[in-house]
Amino acid sequence: MECCRVLMIAIVALMLLFPVTDAWGIDGHDIVCNIAQSRLNEAAADIVQELLPKSAENDLGSVCSWADQVKFRYHWSSPLHYVNTPDVCNYNFERDCKDDNGEQGRCVAGAVQNYTKQLLTIGSNEGSSYNLTEALLFYSHFMGDIHQPLHAGFASDKGGNTIEVHWYTRKQNLHHIWDDNIIETAEERYYNSNVAGMIDAIQKNITTEWADQVKDWESCSYTDTTCADVIPRLLQIQIKRLVLCRYASEGIQAACDWAYKGAAEGSVLKDEYFLSRLPIVNTRLAQAGVRLAAILNHYFK
Ligand code: ADE
Ligand code: ZN
Ligand code: ZN
């Protein structure tokens, strides 16, 4: 009995020492889902309202982190929050999108594809055989995760989870800095510690500074596996061997260019890192929200 207690204490201590986090933090997901919900057309807004649990009071942002809360109940869903490359700055579906047992498609890009397909069964004549409330919550969450640069990171450091650095004076792992700390510091410094202020600021940028790029963010290209339905069948077969997902490709590129750069084990990250990386975080949150809305608007016609 004593040995079990010691073992338990050791396991808990290890978990506290080396936390492996799995998502943008609560605020990151809240921001993505708020931006998305505000951009829905009437039909899509009605369907989202119908699918949301009553307790959410028609606020998608309030349940956007649900997928993180059920990771232990739905153990199978844990690997669906991220994708790792073999320490290279490009992403390939066949090479990278598998879980630890090698099962193909079990990564965040595969999950985005899978839940797109589930949501497409809405309103089908025979009725959907999926739980579409859960599909919407998983989908909205994974669209956020795939835009967190270190959710498409290197396998050897688990997307920065094993890289210990300092965030100003506090010890922290690099993954957590991108999930939470950059957003938290921005909220404290610029928005009175208020997530609503950050949402407003990003939304203003979407209609001004980034207005020219929004069309491109929304567009489905042949490199985007979530657009499977709009790719002509013949082309689908031809490109099957080289299936890419634009979101994950952009993610690993940003991870290499911005997240890992200047953040080796033991670094102290402060204003120089924060101020140069915050625009990347803001852009990724905006892209996730814009794309989530565009896809729901497209499918929930
Ligand atoms: N666990 C292993 N790799 C991970 C990643 N890239 N993001 C989050 N959790 C992980
Ligand atoms: Zn997640
Ligand atoms: Zn994470």
The whole-angstrom separation of Cα 135 and Cα 109 is 15
Residue 12 lies in a domain: no
253 domain-assigned: yes
Q: Best substitution site from 22, 97, 163, 180 to test ligand 1's pocket, by max atoms within 8 Å of Cβ? A: 22
Name the β-bridge partners of 269.
Answer: 167
Residue nearest (by alpha carbon) to ligand 1 atom 3: 158
Q: Is residue 30 part of a domain?
A: yes
Q: Please check whether residue 180 lies inside any domain of the structure.
A: yes
Overall number of domains in the chain: 1
5 domain residue, yes or no? no
In a domain, 90, yes or no: yes
Residue 222 Cα to ligand 1 midpoint, Å, equals: 27
User: Which residue is closest in CA terms to ligand 1's atom 10?
Assistant: 158
Distance in Å, CA 117 to ligand 3 centroid = 24
Cα-Cα-Cα-Cα dihedral sign, residues 159, 164, 168, 170: positive
- Rg (the chain; Cα; Å): 19
pLDDT of residue 242: 47
**CA–CA dist 84, 72 (Å, integer):** 21
In a domain, 1, yes or no: no
- Confidence (pLDDT) at 17: 47
Atom 9 of ligand 1, nearest CA residue: 22
In a domain, 178, yes or no: yes
**CATH number assigned to the domain comprising residue 69:** 1.10.575.10
- Tell me the pLDDT of the chain (301 aa) as tens digits: 455 455 454 544 545 444 455 578 999 999 999 999 999 999 999 999 999 999 999 999 999 999 999 999 999 999 999 999 999 999 999 999 999 999 999 999 999 999 998 998 998 878 889 999 999 999 999 999 999 999 999 999 999 999 999 999 999 999 999 999 999 999 999 999 999 999 999 999 999 999 999 999 998 765 565 664 555 666 665 555 445 689 999 999 999 999 999 999 999 999 999 999 999 999 999 999 999 999 999 888 7
DSSP code, position 127: -
Residue 217: name the closest of 147, 148, 276, 114 by CA: 147
Residue 126 belongs to domain spanning: 20-299
Q: For residue 21, what are the CA distances in angstroms to 18, 153, 196, 260? A: 9, 13, 24, 17
Question: What is the DSSP code string of 211-271?
Answer: HHHHHHHH---TTBGGGGGGS-HHHHHHHGGG--BHHHHHHHHHIIIIISTT--TT-EE-H
